[in-house]
Amino acid sequence: MKGLGYGHLRTPFSPIIVIPRRNDCRTTTDNAEYHPPTMPTTPGALGSEANDPTPSILTVDPDDEVLSQLLRNHVVKSQKPDSKEFYPLSVLLSVISRERLGRELDRYRRWSPEEVGKMVDLIRPPADDVKPGAAQDKAHYVRVFALLLLLDKGREIDNFIAEGASDAILPVDISPSKKKLLKFATKGRGELGSSDKWPIHEKEFFSACQWQMLPAYFDFDDRGEPHRLDDGIILPFIEAGSDGEMRNGNTSEKIGAYGTVTCVKIHPDSHKFGQVLGEIGLLGRQLFALKTLNHDTTDKDSQGFRNELDQLRRFNGLVHPHIVTLLASFQHHGHHHFLFPWAECTLEEFWSRPPDNSRGGVAWLAKQLEGIMGAVSAIHNPSHLHSTLAAEEQRFGRHSDLKPDNILWFAATGQQGSRGILVVTDLGLSTFNRVVSRSNQPGVSAKVPGYRAPECDVRDGKAARGTDVWTLGCIYLELVAWLLGGPALLEEFARQRRSLDHLTCTIGRLFFEFNRGLGPSSTGQIRVKKAVTEFFVRLAGLPNCSRFAHDVLSIIEDEMLVVTGPSDRTSSRELLSKFRELRRRCEECASGVPEFATYTTEGHPVQRPARDPPAASVQLIELATENLRLGDQHAPVSLPVGDGSFDGNGTTGPLEINIRAPDEDGLSPQVDL
């Protein structure tokens, strides 16, 4: 996979079963011509192409242990709850080395030394012949021989060789023959005669155990379609988490509305993700995120899988380092699956820790602000897809589901410094449109309730790329709150935004509010929520509000949280340029450049009145109008909650708000603040 870079879109390669490359496993005698068993055995090592090596299993003298028992001793067990046993091809090639194989065949005393030498070449090829895809193209027999060893029928390998029943025949089916005896049937070859005289239970054992030799092998390439794995294929996921790999208290499974994400550790000889992980700055990752969509492959909602897959092909860490990279996609047991690098936590979970206010810590945060904006700009303006398209055919993307849960934190690697990287993920709800329709999409679908943009609530409102800018403005404001006051101030801000969400009919934390006029309930003005405008003032007046924090707040307030429409917000491309400049200043501060020596470290509190942001006269969509009408019919009740007053220690005081009790129809409580 040469020449991967940000200028070339790379798409996932469906997982297939292939033989690892020659460097994946070798012994010092693998390339040598086989000689009779008087030749001494030379131990070797078993390793992987880009991961931590598996401990060598070639230090056991073959005279001390029967080859079939040695094979059983090195079976790999998959992750619970399945706990199935399997043999990565590298393990087979290491256990059944050419020397051991020759000794085993000679032990049967059925063939001459010359015949044994020829059989060794057929069963266990030299390392030069062990290449990806070779199991499908060449007549080797190492898997078949391993199965025969487990059946104590290794001496019958010559029957399979005579019939040409190599590894390429696997998996075989068992079907009744005309004589009502079970026979092995293969695709395109018909029934096999090699096992005609076996009792039925041995045929059943062979059929069941063959899957142990055929675990999935995952690779990354430029082929697009997800691979359909046979239900018998064993996924090579081994136990993870017991040795401290699950850091920061992160759970190994997360269940969401669209799917379940599980932490898995892939056997190091069952994937070849090393190169792509290196190119996206995550070299050495041992854990992976397996996303399983809730609907099955026959569900009409499979279009959601198709949309997410298409977007993940277009946008990944090779396009921009702050976009998540799909490593593989496949279908197994009737469900769609994606494989990604495993992240330590989401941004929402990351906020639970105290901020790093050092020069280096703030410079890192500035780099993440630039990086996330760059990722969104790459989605909005995918220049890597436009090189061969006419202007009218060029397409522009929109994420549509930005929220702290969809921004992941990957811990540090050597390429990311000591603080890691924030990465945008979950492109399942994103859209991709031609230039003529990129700003003309109905905005009524509320994907991210707390961070929803005003146009989602407005009659005839249109969602556009600027809708993502609003959402990022909300997230960036929370990031500044976390930087200046840690988790306590962030939680205070969330409480202060509590109000009725007239679209979802629940208590929400929107960043805008609807003020009804004197006319019909659907007519009024949308403006930035008063609690938000007052919070800008609060942050600006904090003793530790640096010039950097002021600059970020100004961009958010003036250019991102604009209610008059998506087109009135600054584009992600322009915002990227602004945040790039802020990052440069932070890095110069960290480097001691005199002009910016105190840019991030010295507080510059500013006392100013709250701004009166522009308002938009609108009519709400029908659903919101109906919720407001029904809300007027409920009687108020009182409920004490914290006012979120922040004193630097995270303490809060009481506040009374009125919540209208639900009617008999079971509506969620309504709120008056």
pLDDT of 80 reads 72
Residues 252 and 281 in one domain: yes
What pTM did the predictor assign?
0.77
Which region among 188-192, 324-328, 575-579 has the lowest average model confidence (pLDDT)?
188-192
Q: Identify the pLDDT of residue 127.
A: 66
- With 0-12 / 13-18 / 19 or more C-beta atoms within 10 angstroms meaning exposed / middle / buried, residue 21 is middle
Rounded mean pLDDT, 118-131? 82
pLDDT > 60? residue 37: no
Per-residue pLDDT tens for 321-331?
899 888 988 99
Check residues 457 and 530 and name the one with the higher pLDDT: 530
**Mean pLDDT within 125-132:** 66
Give the end of a domain, one of 288, 314, 342: 342
Q: Kindly provide the residue ranges of all beta strands, DSSP E only, lying in 202-351, ordered along the sequence.
A: 227-228, 237-238, 253-255, 259-266, 287-296, 328-332, 335-341, 345-346
State the first-to-last Cα distance of the chain, in angstroms, to the nearest integer.
Answer: 59
- Compute, in degrees rounded to 10, the torsion defined by CA atoms 82, 83, 89, 95: -160
**Backbone torsions φ then ψ of 193, nearest 5 degrees:** -100, -5
Of the two residues 268 and 637, the one the predictor is more confident about is 268
Contact assessment for residue 489 and residue 483, using Cβ atoms and an 8 Å cutoff? no
DSSP, collapsed to helix, strand or coil, labels residue 291 as: strand
Q: What is the domain extent for residue 308?
A: 228-342
Length of the chain: 673
Residue 249: CB atoms within 10 A of its CB come to: 9
Q: How many CB atoms lie within 10 A of CB 460?
A: 11
Cβ atoms 79, 237 nearer than 8 A: yes
Assess whether pLDDT exceeds 90 at residue 370. Answer: yes
- The predicted pLDDT at position 126 comes to 80
Are residues 649 and 633 in contact, defined by beta-carbon separation less than 8 angstroms?
no
Instruction: Give a yes or no: residue 630 inside a domain.
Output: no
Q: Establish how many alpha carbons lie within 13 A of residue 643's alpha carbon, considering only the half-sphere containing its beta carbon.
A: 7
- Of 3-17, 147-161, 397-411, 456-470, the poorest mean pLDDT is in 3-17
> Cα(534)–Cα(538) distance, rounded to whole angstroms?
6
CA dist 398 → 12, 131, 376, 464, 621 (Å): 21, 41, 8, 7, 22
Here the tokens at position 637 are: 């009740």
With CA atoms as reference, report the closest residue to 223 among 129, 305, 326: 326
* Residue 569 CB-half CA count within 13 A: 29
Mean pLDDT of 489-504: 89
Same-domain check for residues 184 and 268: no
pLDDT digits (tens, 9 = 90+) for 203-258: 889 999 999 999 999 988 655 567 889 999 999 999 765 434 444 444 566 666 56
595 in a structural domain: yes
Q: Which helix H or strand E contains 462, and what residues bound it?
A: strand 462-463
**Residues 350 and 326 both lie in one domain:** no
613 Cα distance to chain centroid? 38
Look at residue 364 and tell me whether its pLDDT is greater than 60.
Answer: yes
Which of 326, 342, 358 is the C-terminal boundary of a domain? 342
Tokens for 130? Answer: 């062990």
Same domain, 374 and 489: yes
Do residue 209 and residue 249 come from a single domain? no
- Amino acid identity, residue 607? Q
Would 631 be classed as within a structural domain?
no
pLDDT of 175 over the 90 cut: no
* C-alpha closest to that of 410 among 398, 402, 421: 421
Helix (H, G, I), strand (E, B) or coil at 641: strand
Q: Where are the alpha helices (DSSP H) in 242-358?
A: 274-279, 302-314, 347-350
| The residue to which tokens 């000889």 are assigned | 269
What would the two tokens of residue 72 be? 């059983």
Residue closest to 572 by CA, chosen among 449, 452, 466: 466
- Pick from 76, 78, 46: which is nearest to 60 by CA? 46
State whether 336 and 357 are in the same domain: no
- With a pLDDT cut of 70, the percent of the chain lying above it is 65
The answer to whether the beta carbons of residues 503 and 457 sit under 8 Å apart is yes
CATH code (residue 325): 3.30.200.20
Task: For tokens 């230090």, name the residue.
Answer: 59
Same domain, 319 and 360: no
Sign of the torsion angle spanned by Cα atoms 276, 281, 283, 288: negative
Higher-confidence residue of 2 and 215: namely 215
What pLDDT sits at residue 396? 65
In a domain, 474, yes or no: yes
* Residue 571, CA distances (Å) to 393, 465, 610 in order: 21, 8, 25
The secondary structure element, H or E, covering residue 45 is: strand 45-46
- pLDDT at 14 > cutoff 70: no
pLDDT tens per residue across span 386-407: 444 444 444 567 877 899 999 9
Q: If you average pLDDT over residues 84-109, what whole number do you get? A: 94
Looking up tokens 């032990």 gives 107
pLDDT for res 646: 42
The CA distance from 291 to 327, in Å, is 11
The whole-number pLDDT of residue 239 equals 78
Task: Please say whether the dihedral angle defined by the alpha carbons of residues 274, 280, 283 and 285, taken in this order, is positive or negative.
Answer: negative
Say which CATH number the domain at 619 has.
1.10.510.10
Same domain assignment for residues 362 and 256: no
Residues 337 and 350 in one domain: no
Considering the domain architecture, whether residues 378 and 512 belong to the same structural domain is answered as yes
Contact indicator for 144, 154 with CB cutoff of 8 Å: no
Report the distance separating Cα 589 and Cα 549, nearest Å.
14
CA gap 117, 171 in Å, rounded:
27
The more confident residue out of 593 and 60 is 593
Instruction: Give a yes or no: residue 292 inside a domain.
Output: yes
Cβ atoms within 10 Å of 437's Cβ, excluding its own: 12
Q: Of the candidates 158, 187, 213, which is a domain's last residue?
A: 213
Write the burial class of residue 618 (CB in 10 Å: 0-12 exposed, 13-18 middle, 19+ buried): buried
Mean pLDDT of all residues in 16-33: 37
Q: Which of 193, 192, 200, 107 is nearest to 149 (CA)?
A: 107
Asked whether the predicted pLDDT for residue 652 surpasses 50, the reply is no
Q: Are residues 573 and 428 in the same domain?
A: yes
Confidence of residue 417 (pLDDT cuts 50, 70, 90): low
**Hey, which residues does 174 pair with through a beta bridge?**
184
Mean pLDDT within 413-436: 65
- More reliable by pLDDT, 662 or 142: 142
DSSP states along 34-72: P--TTSPP---EE--SSSPPPPP-TTS-GGGS-HHHHHH
Q: Which residue has the higher pLDDT, 605 or 455?
A: 605
Q: Count up the domains in the chain and report the number.
A: 3
Region 360-369: what's the mean pLDDT? 97
**Overall average pLDDT of the 351-366 stretch:** 96
Check whether the bond before 81 is cis (ω within 30° of 0): yes
DSSP class of residue 269 equals: T
Q: Position of tokens 């969400």?
A: 501
pLDDT, position 43: 32
Between 349 and 631, whose confidence is greater? 349
Q: How far apart are CA 588 and CA 603, in angstroms?
A: 17
More confident of the two residues 534 and 505: 534
Q: Is residue 222 included in any domain, yes or no?
A: no
Decide if 664 is inside a domain.
no
Which region among 39-53, 351-365, 442-456, 549-563 has the lowest average model confidence (pLDDT)? Answer: 39-53
Q: In sequence order, what DSSP letters do the residues of 554-622 get, joined into one string? A: HHIIIIIS-TT-GGGSPPHHHHHHHHHHHHHHHHHHHHT-GGGTTTTTSB-----PPP----EEEEB-H
Helix (H, G, I), strand (E, B) or coil at 551: helix
pLDDT exceeding 90 applies to what percent of the chain?
41
DSSP letter (8 states) at residue 436: G
**Residues with Cβ within 8 Å of residue 190, at least 6 apart in sequence:** none
Q: Are residues 422 and 295 in the same domain?
A: no
Q: Is residue 299 part of a domain?
A: yes
Eight-class DSSP state of 116: H
Nearest-angstrom CA–CA distance, 261 and 409: 15
Report the candidate in 111, 170, 174 with the shortest Cα–Cα distance to residue 142.
170
Q: Tell me what the pLDDT averaged over the chain comes to.
A: 76
Q: Which residues pair with 516 in a beta bridge?
A: 524
